[in-house]
Amino acid sequence: MQKTVLITGATSGIGLGCAKKFAENGDRLILTARSQEKLEAIRQELTGKGCEVTVLAFDVRDRHAATAAVNGLSKEWQQVDVLVNNAGLALGLEPEYEGAPDDWEAMIDTNIKGLLTMTRLIVPKMIARNSGHIINIGSVAGDAAYAGGNVYCATKAAVKALTDGLRIDVADSAVRVTNLKPGLVETNFSNIRFKGDTERAARLYQGIKPLTGDDIADVAVYAANAPAHVQIAEVLILATHQASGSVIVRK
């Protein structure tokens, strides 16, 4: 059955992978990100392949902009069946006591508060109709801190706690809640973390075949299409030679 899927941070990485995989699955898409230009390019690509797509340009850190965008959806797009809270980022690898407060705020406002904003906007309607699915993109970093990860790890630990808490809150309904926890995924994530230092970002993936955004998207589509009585609560997805957030064997 065709679903309407809203994906945040949909213009790159895991979000873009999810957009393409859900499109291949025959679903309708509401794609959000900060760049209208990038959203339009993706919309044109996917509509050319027969997928219905609408786009919303806003920053999930801006609660008022997010609210206006979601509430401004036309009636035919109001029912969101699957919410993929993907928008997120990491900034810096400094020790916690040397971190940049602006970086802390960007991570907390995007990874935690942005997720909460989208949850608050979408989930009440799911509860009202007793149907829906929330897929939060967490991280192996939320299971245990690693060197240089401090605040980013804390935000992904918060994603796990918020996902678990939401699952408890909706347990008397048919709404399902999933936490996907990727390990090493090769996207522009590291370029952002290292603030444009492409060479440093590339070194992170040397000696190991990392995951791709499509790999994580495959799991998201699987979870969203499990039988109605099956709730894929949490999935840890690692590259074959990665054992945890801090144990990576490079060859």
Catalytic residues: 152
Strands laid side by side in the 234-237 sheet: 53-57, 28-33, 4-7, 82-85, 133-137, 176-182, 234-237
Nearest-angstrom CA–CA distance, 141 and 150: 9
Using alpha carbons, select from 53, 46, 55 the residue that is nearest to residue 24: 46
Alpha helices in the chain (DSSP H): 13-24, 36-47, 63-71, 101-107, 115-129, 150-169, 189-193, 198-203, 213-224
Quick one: how many helices (H) and strands (E) in the chain? 9, 7
Nearest-angstrom CA–CA distance, 18 and 6: 10
Q: How far is CA 196 from CA 45, 86, 189, 201, in A?
A: 27, 21, 10, 8
Mapped onto helix, strand or coil, the DSSP state of residue 31 is: strand
